[in-house]
């Protein structure tokens, strides 16, 4: 049964067409994840489905009587009122009493136990969790969730994951949490350049589907380019005859010339750049810190190695961000010292994101840091760096106020990395960043020649980057070897602290065992060397046959023979052309050094 459908939806924001004549259908029990690069229209699609916005064209049809519960990126509450009142504000009057216990229970599990506090006193993370509670207690057939895991800690994300897996209605959610998508969703919808692409399965299935879709498009385009070059050569020489076959080839040339060329998949690309880092990095000596009467960290010492990859976890308010701010000197420890080496150059990616002048142009914002930067591939300008971060030349001259929240976060990340630091401190870098940006950030960190400390609730990100986990809990910083999955397993099994001397975790190198370089067979090599001559001879034979037909117009027996010969030559030429396209494509792939399984 279809619960709701969006038919031929289009929507434009500030001259950017984010949705272009797209349709979406949601059936009973569907679990749909929406992914795509920031600014492509994911949240817009969700708002239209929820009725919070209207499309420029097209319509949304909702089955009579269906109940929709919607969690926006920024939960909407009144300025004042108790947490409990605000969470239950939109409940039908007849459910107020029966739902109160459920609301209190969810808020308690979400880490907001004091339901009588005024809503204005909640932190950003607490407001987010209150918003989740408000969405979950609404009687609904459809849950629409926009970035539900943003600004919540790992434990709360796991709790929300468990709740959603038990939810019996349909779910549509925008999220960059790849483990979340993998466990909950059975359909992935990608929003890309105004269009949507649907894949049955979870996130892992989608990754395979997208890779195959792009590979198919690339292979088809390679063949089209090869065929176009061949036809262009033929057109440039001048058609030696103007028979039916020649007209067909001219039409084929025009079709190839005017074909729709697939746009290369946009990826955030950035070579790892850093300053030289000496032997002395950052030495933390017996630091302690309290906020009021609450200890955040007690008598903690640690020397950060030059290639450290440290993931930092813990409840909201446990002291994770405070720890990073002590390292950069923004907050002083109550006792102890933090000694910074002379060659250390720290870049700090703030959770809040720095204030940006909305009237400033995108490229001007980056040029404040550097107009050009030295990378392993040579000098790259600010404009080129912006293009690698998906900011087109047109977008670079737009004002920052025209960017989406996620695009601003991506711009801020680029500015931080362009400082060429040798120690990176990242405070919740995964909030508001799309999966494409996260993937390339992870690849960047793999090759980064310096230390990385990252506060994050993104389990996938921590599994990819971390070789050590710091857990802030009850005023202590507890150290664990391995990535997040290793830490979670350790906590489940023993709940103990792993504070023994650490061995450096070795990174797994990509293995090419069972792979070999693509190459021609001996027969293909000989065929490729002579195929151009073979095609030219066939074209000449067809031209000669057409001349013979013209000079024997009265001899019907001879005409039939020549016509049959011409048809046979044309068929042979068509086969040879198909073979030429295949061999040319293969030659290109060999030149690029492609590998194949053996």
> pLDDT by residue (tens digit) across 102-140?
899 989 888 888 889 999 988 777 888 899 999 999 999
Contact status, residue 272 vs residue 448, Cβ threshold 8 Å? yes
How far is Cα 79 from Cα 12, in angstroms, rounded to an integer? Answer: 31
Nearest residue to 302 via CA among 448, 422, 453: 453
pLDDT (0 to 100) of residue 502: 40
Contact status, residue 26 vs residue 2, Cβ threshold 8 Å? yes
**pLDDT band with cut points at 50, 70 and 90 for residue 268:** very low
DSSP 39: T
Q: Which two tokens stand for residue 75?
A: 């939960």
Instruction: Indicate if the pLDDT at residue 199 is higher than 60.
Output: yes
Q: For a pLDDT cut of 70, what percent of the chain falls above it?
A: 85
Q: In the predicted model, what is the mean pLDDT of residues 94-107?
A: 89
Q: In the predicted model, what is the mean pLDDT of residues 392-403?
A: 86
Instruction: Indicate if the pLDDT at residue 145 is higher than 80.
Output: yes
How far is Cα 163 from Cα 140, in angstroms, rounded to an integer? Answer: 14
**pLDDT band with cut points at 50, 70 and 90 for residue 246:** low
- Grouping H, G, I as helix, E, B as strand and the rest as coil, residue 8 is strand
| Residue corresponding to tokens 């746009």 | 263
pLDDT (0 to 100) of residue 247: 65
| Residue corresponding to tokens 């106020």 | 401
- Positive or negative, the CA dihedral 421, 423, 428, 429 is positive
Q: What are the phi and psi torsion angles at 31 (to 5°)? A: -125, 100
At residue 368's C-alpha, the angle toward residues 364 and 369, to 5°, is: 125
Instruction: Indicate if the pLDDT at residue 216 is higher than 80.
Output: no
Instruction: Indicate if the pLDDT at residue 496 is higher than 60.
Output: no
Q: In the predicted model, what is the mean pLDDT of residues 442-446?
A: 85
Contacts of 490 by beta carbon, 8 Å cutoff, 6+ apart? 480, 482, 496, 498
**pLDDT band with cut points at 50, 70 and 90 for residue 542:** confident
Nearest residue to 376 via CA among 269, 523, 522, 511: 269
How far is Cα 365 from Cα 357, in angstroms, rounded to an integer? Answer: 9
Q: In the predicted model, what is the mean pLDDT of residues 208-231?
A: 73
Contacts of 172 by beta carbon, 8 Å cutoff, 6+ apart? 26, 30, 32, 34, 46, 49, 142, 143, 144, 145
Contact status, residue 199 vs residue 205, Cβ threshold 8 Å? yes
**pLDDT band with cut points at 50, 70 and 90 for residue 507:** very low
Highest mean pLDDT pick, 3-7, 264-268, 529-533: 3-7
| Residue corresponding to tokens 């066939």 | 538
Nearest residue to 426 via CA among 448, 454, 467: 454
224-246 burial, b at 16+ Cβ within 10 Å, e below that, comes to: bbbbbebbeebeeeebebebebb
**pLDDT band with cut points at 50, 70 and 90 for residue 511:** very low
- Positive or negative, the CA dihedral 348, 350, 355, 357 is positive
pLDDT (0 to 100) of residue 231: 65
pLDDT in tens, 417-426: 888 888 999 9
Q: For a pLDDT cut of 90, what percent of the chain falls above it?
A: 33
**pLDDT band with cut points at 50, 70 and 90 for residue 239:** low
Q: In the predicted model, what is the mean pLDDT of residues 98-102?
A: 89
Long-range CB contacts for residues 237-244, cutoff 8 Å, separation at least 24? 240/539, 240/540, 240/543, 241/542, 241/543, 241/546, 241/547, 243/546, 243/566
pLDDT (0 to 100) of residue 241: 47
How far is Cα 20 from Cα 534, in angstroms, rounded to an integer? Answer: 47
The larger pLDDT score, comparing residue 443 to residue 482, is at 482
Instruction: Indicate if the pLDDT at residue 267 is higher than 60.
Output: no
Instruction: Indicate if the pLDDT at residue 512 is higher than 60.
Output: no
Q: Which of 59-63, 274-278, 380-384, 513-517 has the lowest mean pLDDT?
A: 513-517
Q: Which of 268-272, 332-336, 452-456 has the lowest mean pLDDT?
A: 268-272
CA 512 to chain centre: 26
pLDDT (0 to 100) of residue 242: 47
Nearest residue to 170 via CA among 88, 69, 102, 72: 69
Packing angle of the helix pair 124-137, 154-166 (nearest 10 deg) = 10
How do beta strands 335-340 and 346-349 pair? unpaired
**pLDDT band with cut points at 50, 70 and 90 for residue 235:** low
How far is Cα 290 from Cα 300, in angstroms, rounded to an integer? Answer: 13
pLDDT (0 to 100) of residue 509: 38
pTM: 0.68
Paired with 477 in beta bridges are 472
How far is Cα 294 from Cα 289, in angstroms, rounded to an integer? Answer: 9
How far is Cα 188 from Cα 173, in angstroms, rounded to an integer? Answer: 10
pLDDT (0 to 100) of residue 580: 79
pLDDT in tens, 13-70: 877 789 999 999 999 999 999 998 888 889 999 999 999 999 999 999 999 989 999 9
pLDDT (0 to 100) of residue 501: 38
Q: How many CB atoms lie within 10 A of CB 44?
A: 22
HEC secondary structure over 233-265:
HHHHHCCCCCCHHHHHHHHHHHHHHCCCCCCCC
Instruction: Indicate if the pLDDT at residue 174 is higher than 70.
Output: yes
Paired with 451 in beta bridges are 423
pLDDT (0 to 100) of residue 76: 86
- H or E segment to which residue 454 belongs: strand 451-455
pLDDT (0 to 100) of residue 499: 43
- Grouping H, G, I as helix, E, B as strand and the rest as coil, residue 333 is coil
Q: Which of 8-17, 268-277, 341-350 has the lowest mean pLDDT?
A: 268-277
């Amino acid at each position: 049964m279809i619960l709701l459908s969006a038919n031929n939806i289009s929507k434009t924001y500030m001259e950017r067409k984010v949705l272009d004549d797209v349709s979406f259908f949601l059936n009973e029990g569907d679990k749909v994840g929406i992914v795509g690069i920031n600014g492509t229209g994911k949240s817009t699609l969700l708002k239209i489905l929820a009725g919070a916005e209207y499309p420029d064209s097209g319509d949304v049809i909702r089955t009579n009587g269906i109940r929709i519960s919607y969690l926006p990126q920024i939960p909407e509450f009144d300025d004042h009122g108790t947490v409990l009142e605000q969470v239950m504000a939109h409940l039908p009057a007849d459910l107020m009493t029966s739902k109160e216990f459920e609301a209190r229970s969810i808020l308690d599990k979400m880490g907001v136990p004091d339901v009588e506090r005024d809503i204005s006193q909640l932190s950003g993370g607490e407001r987010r969790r209150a918003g989740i509670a408000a969405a979950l207690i609404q009687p609904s057939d459809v849950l629409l969730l926009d970035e539900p895991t943003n600004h919540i800690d790992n434990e709360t994300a796991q709790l929300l994951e468990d709740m959603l897996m038990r939810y019996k209605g349909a779910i549509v959610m925008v999220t960059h949490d790849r483990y979340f998508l993998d466990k909950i969703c059975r359909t992935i919808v990608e929003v890309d350049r105004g269009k949507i692409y649907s894949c049955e399965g979870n996130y892992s299935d989608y990754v395979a589907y997208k890779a195959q879709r792009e590979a198919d498009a690339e292979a088809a385009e390679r063949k089209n380019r090869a065929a176009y070059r061949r036809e262009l050569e033929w057109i440039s020489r001048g058609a030696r005859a103007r028979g039916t076959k020649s007209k067909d080839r001219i039409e084929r040339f025009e079709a190839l010339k005017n074909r729709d060329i697939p746009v290369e998949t946009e990826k955030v690309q950035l070579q790892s750049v850093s300053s030289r880092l000496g032997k002395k990095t950052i030495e933390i000596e017996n630091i302690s810190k309290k906020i009021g009467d609450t200890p955040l960290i007690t008598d903690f010492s640690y020397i950060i190695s030059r290639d450290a990859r440290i993931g930092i976890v813990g409840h909201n308010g446990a002291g994770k961000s405070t720890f990073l701010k002590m390292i950069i000197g923004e907050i002083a420890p109550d006792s102890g010292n933090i000694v910074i080496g002379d060659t250390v150059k720290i870049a700090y990616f703030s959770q809040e994101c720095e204030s940006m002048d909305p009237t400033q142009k995108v490229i001007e914002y980056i040029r404040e840091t550097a107009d050009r930067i030295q990378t392993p591939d040579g000098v790259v300008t600010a404009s080129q760096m912006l293009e690698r971060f998906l900011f087109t030349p047109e977008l670079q001259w737009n004002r920052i106020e025209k960017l989406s929240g996620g695009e601003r976060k991506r711009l801020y990340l680029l500015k931080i990395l362009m400082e060429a630091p040798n120690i990176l401190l990242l405070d919740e870098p995964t909030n508001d960043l799309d999966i494409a940006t996260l993937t390339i950030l992870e690849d960047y960190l793999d090759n980064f020649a310096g230390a990385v400390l990252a506060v994050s609730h993104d389990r996938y990100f921590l599994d990819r980057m971390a070789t050590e986990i710091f857990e802030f809990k009850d005023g202590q910083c507890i150290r664990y070897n391995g990535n997040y999955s290793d830490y979670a397993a350790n906590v489940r099994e023993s709940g103990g602290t792993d504070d023994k001397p650490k061995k450096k975790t070795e990174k797994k190198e990509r293995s090419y065992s069972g792979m070999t370089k693509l190459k021609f067979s001996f027969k293909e090599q000989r065929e490729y060397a002579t195929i151009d001559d073979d095609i030219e001879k066939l074209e000449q034979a067809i031209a000669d046959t057409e001349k013979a037909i013209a000079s024997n117009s009265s001899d019907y027996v001879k005409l039939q023979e020549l016509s049959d010969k011409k048809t046979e030559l044309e068929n042979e030429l068509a086969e040879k052309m198909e073979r030429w396209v295949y061999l040319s494509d293969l030659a290109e792939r060999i030149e690029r050094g492609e590998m194949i399984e053996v």
